[in-house]
Amino acid sequence: MSTLTATPETRGADPGRNVLEARNLVKSYGHVVALDGVDFELRAGEILAVVGDNGAGKSTLIKTLTGAVVPDSGEILLDGQPVHFKGPLDARHRGIEAVYQDLAVAPALDIPSNLFLGRELLSLGLLGSVFRRLDKRRMREEAERAMAELKFRLPSIASRVENLSGGQRQGVAVARAAVFARKLVIMDEPTAALGVRETGQVLELIRNIRDRGLPVVLISHNMPNVFELADRIFIMRLGRRAAVVSPKTHTMADVVAIMTGAVKVEAG
């Protein structure tokens, strides 16, 4: 099992290299074409924001990349190799972790138990018997190390998650993804329910994850957040890739104009 103490496989990778790529993805729901031939690429070491109006196809795109939805056609490549995810576990096993808006944390458990939820560390039982038990000490040490490495401050690692603020809880969910992701992390609106200060904490955490070498895909409706964090912005409109732009060369008004179709661009 990989934990945060393991180096992400994408760390130090050639920054121009595509870690994740999709070609001509199509997905329809009945007569609704959610993805209409989308090309996508996530480069090593970047935060790529995915933006678009409601119904533009952002969630469907992300779901195909995390194995939650199987596309009707098209190709997905991880590190240049074609992959066919049969479900989210499949994508996880290949090093792709996702964080969704609806927090999947267990409020009554402490932070280490949440970080390792479903992937608990076990130790050999008495006299090395086959009966294994939770290795709470190692989970606590790993959790402390992970939080320190990600520079995420928490009152105490032993706190139950129900006693944390919304931002801290979301931080635990985001950190959990970073702990297990070997290739990349995908986040769907990770700051949607948070106040300004709490959002700041989570944004800093996301930046630290990128700085550790894990590329991040971030879906967000919050343009200031997108401009604060993203290295590139992938703009969707009506199930298509409208453009990919840099926050250094384009303004928020430019991005909104492309999203809404007020300005047409050659697909970037």
Ligand X SMILES: Nc1ncnc2c1ncn2[C@@H]1O[C@H](COP(=O)(O)OP(=O)(O)OP(=O)(O)O)[C@@H](O)[C@H]1O
Q: Which residues bind ligand X (CB under 6 A)?
A: 29, 32, 34, 52, 54-60
Report in angstroms how near the CB of residue 9 gets to ligand X at its nearest.
28
Report in angstroms how near the CB of residue 196 gets to ligand X at its nearest.
22
Residue (175 or 236) nearer to ligand X, CB: 236
The full DSSP string for the chain is ---TTSPPTTTT--TTSEEEEEEEEEEEETTEEEEEEEEEEEETT-EEEEEESTTSSHHHHHHHHTTSS--SEEEEEETTEEE--SSHHHHHHTTEEEE-SS----TTSBHHHHHTTTS--EE--GGG-S--EE-HHHHHHHHHHHHHHTT---S-TT-BGGGS-HHHHHHHHHHHHHHH-SSEEEEESTTTT--HHHHHHHHHHHHHHHHTT--EEEE-S-HHHHHHH-SEEEEEETTEEEEEE-TTT--HHHHHHHHHTSS-----
Residue (106 or 256) nearer to ligand X, CB: 256
Report in angstroms how near the CB of residue 204 gets to ligand X at its nearest.
25
- CA pair distance 123, 138, nearest whole angstrom: 9
Report in angstroms how near the CB of residue 101 gets to ligand X at its nearest.
9
Report in angstroms how near the CB of residue 34 gets to ligand X at its nearest.
3
Report in angstroms how near the CB of residue 32 gets to ligand X at its nearest.
5
Report in angstroms how near the CB of residue 233 gets to ligand X at its nearest.
14
Q: Cβ atoms within 10 A of the Cβ of 178, count?
A: 25
Residue (34 or 115) nearer to ligand X, CB: 34
Report in angstroms how near the CB of residue 256 gets to ligand X at its nearest.
14
Residue (34 or 99) nearer to ligand X, CB: 34
Residue 37 burial (C-beta neighbours within 10 Å; 0-12, 13-18, 19+): middle
Residue (52 or 190) nearer to ligand X, CB: 52
Residue (54 or 249) nearer to ligand X, CB: 54
Residue (85 or 116) nearer to ligand X, CB: 85
Question: 22-31 as b/e, with b when 16 or more CB fall inside 10 Å?
Answer: beebbbeeee
Residue (157 or 193) nearer to ligand X, CB: 193
